Amino acid sequence: MTTKTAVTPWGLTRVSELSRMVELPYASAELDPDTQTARYRDVDGSLIDPIEAGKHGSATNTSPRTGTSRDGSGSPAPDSDTGHDGDRD
């Protein structure tokens, strides 16, 4: 006789509680047709200062040469192309 055991899917093991809610300093946002930027309004409809996103990180990208060899050593590379490596803060 075969016994079936329930297994939790891997993705559900990665789930965590939601962060606490943060109250935003504006009640609505609209697009300024002239500047194509957002305008923020408070609950009274008055314009408020734009929301600052804070400092942004930097990103680096490289295109290293990749290759394979018959013996797996990587050299010489009879079949080569380029790859793409990138990181972002």
Q: Tell me: the pLDDT tens digits for 40-59?
A: 999 999 999 876 766 666 66
Asked whether the whole model's pTM tops 0.75, one would answer no
In terms of Cα–Cα distance, which of 53, 55, 54, 83 is closest to 68? 83
Contact 10, 23 (CB under 8 A): no
pLDDT, tens only, 21-40: 778 888 999 999 999 988 99
Q: Is the pLDDT of residue 67 over 80?
A: no
